[in-house]
Amino acid sequence: MNKKHQSWYIIVNICIWVFTFHVSIIYAQSEQNVYTPAEKLTVVGKIVPTPKPFQRVDTLQYSELPSNVKERVVHSAGIAISFVTNSTQITAKWCTEGSPTSATMTEVAYRGMDLYIKKDGQWVYAGVARPQVGKECFSTTLARYMDTEEKECLLYLPLYNEATSVSIGVEENAYIRPGKQPFKKRILIYGSSIVQGAAASRPGMAYPARLSRMTGLNFLNLGMGASAKMEKPVADMIAEMQADAFILDCVPNSSPEEITQRTAYLIRTIRQNHPDAPIIVMQSVFRESGNFNLRTEANVAQQNENILEEVEKLKRSGIESLYFIPSDDFLGDDHEGSVDGTHPTDLGFDRMLQVIEPRIMEILKMEL
Amino acid sequence: MNKKHQSWYIIVNICIWVFTFHVSIIYAQSEQNVYTPAEKLTVVGKIVPTPKPFQRVDTLQYSELPSNVKERVVHSAGIAISFVTNSTQITAKWCTEGSPTSATMTEVAYRGMDLYIKKDGQWVYAGVARPQVGKECFSTTLARYMDTEEKECLLYLPLYNEATSVSIGVEENAYIRPGKQPFKKRILIYGSSIVQGAAASRPGMAYPARLSRMTGLNFLNLGMGASAKMEKPVADMIAEMQADAFILDCVPNSSPEEITQRTAYLIRTIRQNHPDAPIIVMQSVFRESGNFNLRTEANVAQQNENILEEVEKLKRSGIESLYFIPSDDFLGDDHEGSVDGTHPTDLGFDRMLQVIEPRIMEILKMEL
């Protein structure tokens, strides 16, 4: 071989080696995880069918909704993916759309996800999907080094962004199948950022999600941060939705005057379309910022007085199966249950659940 | 006046008006709030004196510390400002230095602050200082619309950044004075991210801070995320520190082997300098990621076995006033107490405190 030939020979060999090396890396990676689009598995927590699978409401269908409501109801809060797998490792790729996180929420709650797996009949925390700062699409390993037993899994989608795409990865030699719908009936919760899950540490800790895992009933999250003001188009939309029961936790966002003006329309409109469905109205959680802020303290007191008055009036006017949960001690008595004086943390939610869960279940057992 | 003069007259008048208007705005703003540098008030929670007031340790003094330890101990975790004021509004300006937040913490915990005010003898949440994204210096109103009664205040500094400057603002017609040292004795807690407060919702919710408010004793935060590995220079530094009692919560970051190799040196060195101080060793909180991850489950079990063995050996060798708190049920039994399978949330900390607070107080009441 002359020198020229020798050089070519070396170059060609290097190219072949580089090509083979890269192909083998790509192959090894694709061998590790096979991805399934989440919409091909079982989508849990949907309020209505929508063209985009991880939105809660199709805003094109409800053009009269206020713009801030439209912004919130496309968030994936309360939506989860149910699947079954025997993979020892579960990964995910996902993209989100929406505004960046707030200073009082974690990125994981805002744009991330968390995984639960059933163990001895109980949904148990298994892993968390951390979004990476400055990106809109992410990938992560949620759980690894597990045994090969078949597992029922539930992956909660982001609370405060829309998940525009979600894929779940399992090892190539494992299977993944759509899971069962894990929760029964349909109980719609309409409310503020507190329902949407604003200061939960991760999506599965929002209080409707916890209620579902605790009770086995399907609590549907229609929380809309800063925007649950009982406007007429929202009331009309809610009344159209299919549900076995309605929980209204919309006092925190509505001014005392709005509560007086709008509560009757909301409840009467729901009752018209759902003659027998129980309607449970919750007072506003006490705002801990009102510990010293005299205006906040007075405002919450007035909101809670007005909602009680409205519900009493509606009951007297003959509306049946209408229930009221007062907010006494929702957050305990040490004032440590909120992140910012407004939004309950996981601790605040836990204390709130200790009060509302038995009361809600008592009503639902009687009514459903 | 001719046209030229008239134009000049108008222009000059506009200039004077604009100038006066802006000066009056600036004056009004400066009139609203008068700022006091926090180091001129009472600094609470300091472990040792440092040239930079809001660092926990002067790393120049301890040149042999591992670099990751140096990075953490300058964070302001556990440091708070005690002051007294009758202002109806409290504001703050502050700057921080350090890495950006993690996906499982809030910005408020990482780089923000929170305010407590004493009410009927109890420290009660009053407000939160939200950092603004993309900045290193921030300003905010922590509380407003309060009455004019004199108030004892406690402002907790950021957990995971160093506060490089902090000023507290009150109305011009109000006073602000250094407050009392609110907590007695000195109990040093050496530990991991869990001690530093990694998944607390805000600085005041880190567990040493909660312990201080609950008990009136001064629990000093020497938490260092991912870096509490009982290295010799760290052990030597801790042994030099003045404290009435020591709590060692450093199992989570140390490998089972490191626990076996290093625990005796740490405890013996502390005992040498502090012949009578009680030393309380805590097992690692169970990692919820170990619910399914077999390696994590095995690792935590081994860590906890090894620490128990070391403490038993040291007790048998004659070391007195050495106590052990097992981690059974630190986080309850529903697996809902962590953000990511490792770090307790406010809920996890609350459950942990229900176990460790009575046990710690029993020991301290007996010993101090």
Domain of residue A245, CATH code: 3.40.50.1110
Separation CA B116–CA B134 (nearest Å): 27
Residue A78 CB partners (closer than 8 Å, separation 6+): A45, A56, A197, A206, A208, A209, A219, A220, A221, A222, A223
Domain boundary (B178, B210, B232) is at B178
All residues of chain A having their beta carbon less than 8 Å from the beta carbon of residue B341 are 125-128
- Cα–Cα separations (whole angstroms), residue A201 to A135, A147, A159, B353: 20, 27, 10, 19
Q: For residues B342 and B208, state if they share a domain.
A: yes
* pLDDT at position B19: 46
All residues of chain A having their beta carbon less than 8 Å from the beta carbon of residue B145 are 293-296
DSSP tag of A94: E
How confident is residue A1, by pLDDT bands cut at 50, 70 and 90?
very low
Q: Considering chain B, what percentage of its residues have pLDDT values greater than 70?
A: 92
The alpha carbon of residue B301 is apart from the nearest alpha carbon of chain A, in Å, by 16
Question: Which residue from A130, A201, A336 is facing B199, i.e. has the nearest CB?
Answer: A201
Residue A91, both tokens? 């990964």
What is the tens place of the pLDDT at every residue in B106-133?
A: 999 999 999 999 999 999 999 999 999 8
Separation CA B137–CA B158 (nearest Å): 13
In this structure, are residues B57 and B46 in contact, taking their beta carbons and an 8 Å threshold?
no
Q: Within a domain: residue A104?
A: yes
For chain A, say whether B248 makes contact (Cβ under 8 Å): no
* pLDDT at position A101: 82
Interchain pair B292, A117: CB under 8 A: yes
Q: Phi, psi (5° rounding) for residue A168?
A: -110, 130
Does residue B14 have a pLDDT over 80? Answer: no
Domain boundary (B122, B155, B178) is at B178
- Orientation angle between helical segments A346-367 and B346-367, nearest 10 degrees: 120
pTM: 0.91
Mutation to test the B interface, candidates A340, A343, A349, A357, most B Cβ within 10 Å: A340
What is the tens place of the pLDDT at every residue in A235-247?
A: 999 999 999 999 9
Q: What is the total count of domains within chain A?
A: 2
Mutation to test the B interface, candidates A153, A339, A343, A353, most B Cβ within 10 Å: A339
CA nearest to B360, candidates B249, B203, B271: B249
Q: For residues B267 and B123, state if they share a domain.
A: no
Does residue B49 have a pLDDT over 70? Answer: yes
For chain B, say whether A80 makes contact (Cβ under 8 Å): no
Neighbours of A326 (CB within 10 A): 13
* pLDDT at position A328: 83
Q: For residues B101 and B120, state if they share a domain.
A: yes
DSSP string, B40-87: GSEEES-SS--SSTT-SS-TTT-TTS-HHHHHHHTS-TT-EEEEEE--
Residue of B nearest to A109 (CA): B104
Separation CA A119–CA B199 (nearest Å): 25
Question: Average pLDDT of B236-257?
Answer: 98
> Residue B221: enclosing H or E segment and its boundaries?
strand B217-223
What is the tens place of the pLDDT at every residue in A132-162?
A: 988 999 999 999 999 999 999 999 999 999 9
Domain boundary (A132, A159, A178) is at A178
ipTM exceeding cut-off 0.85 for this assembly: yes
* pLDDT at position A112: 98
Interchain pair B295, A145: CB under 8 A: yes
The residue type of A168 is I
Question: Average pLDDT of B162-191?
Answer: 98
All residues of chain B having their beta carbon less than 8 Å from the beta carbon of residue A337 are 346
What is the tens place of the pLDDT at every residue in A192-233?
A: 999 999 999 999 999 999 999 999 999 999 999 999 999 999
Mutation to test the A interface, candidates B340, B351, B352, B357, most A Cβ within 10 Å: B340
Residue with tokens 């080696």: A17
In this structure, are residues B314 and B266 in contact, taking their beta carbons and an 8 Å threshold?
no
> Of A7-16, B86-95, B253-262, where does mean pLDDT reach its minimum?
A7-16
How confident is residue B36, by pLDDT bands cut at 50, 70 and 90?
very high
Q: For residues B45 and B164, state if they share a domain.
A: yes
> Residue A116: enclosing H or E segment and its boundaries?
strand A113-119
Question: Which residue from B289, B293, B346 is facing A347, i.e. has the nearest CB?
Answer: B346
Residue of B nearest to A201 (CA): B339
Q: For residues A110 and A226, state if they share a domain.
A: no
What is the tens place of the pLDDT at every residue in A311-353?
A: 999 999 999 999 999 998 899 999 999 999 999 999 999 999 9
Higher pLDDT, A238 or B31: A238
Q: For residues A287 and A164, state if they share a domain.
A: no
For chain A, say whether B58 makes contact (Cβ under 8 Å): no
Q: For residues A166 and A194, state if they share a domain.
A: no
Mutation to test the B interface, candidates A86, A346, A349, A352, most B Cβ within 10 Å: A346
CA nearest to B92, candidates B33, B6, B175, B21: B33
Q: Within a domain: residue B259?
A: yes
Does residue A19 have a pLDDT over 80? Answer: no
* pLDDT at position B15: 47
Question: Which residue from A104, A151, A336 is facing B130, i.e. has the nearest CB?
Answer: A104
Q: Rg (Cα) of chain B, in Å, rounded?
A: 24
How confident is residue A13, by pLDDT bands cut at 50, 70 and 90?
low
For chain B, say whether A105 makes contact (Cβ under 8 Å): yes
Separation CA A307–CA B355 (nearest Å): 39
Q: Phi, psi (5° rounding) for residue A258?
A: -60, -35
Q: Within a domain: residue B24?
A: no
Q: For residues B137 and B195, state if they share a domain.
A: no
Q: For residues A189 and A276, state if they share a domain.
A: yes
The alpha carbon of residue B288 is apart from the nearest alpha carbon of chain A, in Å, by 7
Separation CA B327–CA B227 (nearest Å): 20
* pLDDT at position A2: 52
Separation CA B212–CA A87 (nearest Å): 46
DSSP tag of B283: P
How confident is residue B25, by pLDDT bands cut at 50, 70 and 90?
very low
Residue A144 CB partners (closer than 8 Å, separation 6+): A88, A89, A90, B293
Neighbours of B67 (CB within 10 A): 8
The residue type of A348 is G
- Orientation angle between helical segments B256-273 and B232-240, nearest 10 degrees: 30
Q: Within a domain: residue B197?
A: yes
The alpha carbon of residue A155 is apart from the nearest alpha carbon of chain B, in Å, by 14
Q: Within a domain: residue B21?
A: no
Q: For residues B207 and B129, state if they share a domain.
A: no
* pLDDT at position A99: 87
All residues of chain A having their beta carbon less than 8 Å from the beta carbon of residue B348 are 346
Domain range for B209: 184-367
How confident is residue B62, by pLDDT bands cut at 50, 70 and 90?
very high
The residue type of A188 is L
Residue with tokens 């050495």: B322
Q: Within a domain: residue B253?
A: yes
Question: Average pLDDT of B193-216?
Answer: 98
Question: Average pLDDT of A118-140?
Answer: 95
Q: Within a domain: residue B3?
A: no
The alpha carbon of residue A122 is apart from the nearest alpha carbon of chain B, in Å, by 9
What is the tens place of the pLDDT at every residue in A62-117?
A: 999 999 999 999 999 999 999 999 999 999 999 999 988 899 999 999 999 999 99
What is the tens place of the pLDDT at every residue in B290-299?
A: 999 999 999 9
Q: For residues B316 and B212, state if they share a domain.
A: yes
What is the tens place of the pLDDT at every residue in A41-68?
A: 999 999 999 999 999 999 999 999 999 9
The alpha carbon of residue B128 is apart from the nearest alpha carbon of chain A, in Å, by 6
Residue of B nearest to A126 (CA): B289
Question: Average pLDDT of B313-325?
Answer: 98
For chain A, say whether B112 makes contact (Cβ under 8 Å): yes
Q: Within a domain: residue B312?
A: yes
All residues of chain B having their beta carbon less than 8 Å from the beta carbon of residue A147 are 292, 294
The alpha carbon of residue A233 is apart from the nearest alpha carbon of chain B, in Å, by 34
Question: Average pLDDT of B70-75?
Answer: 98
What CATH number corresponds to the domain at position A93? 2.60.120.260
Q: For residues B241 and B338, state if they share a domain.
A: yes
Residue B314, both tokens? 């040291």
Kind of pairing, strands B184-191 and B245-249?
parallel
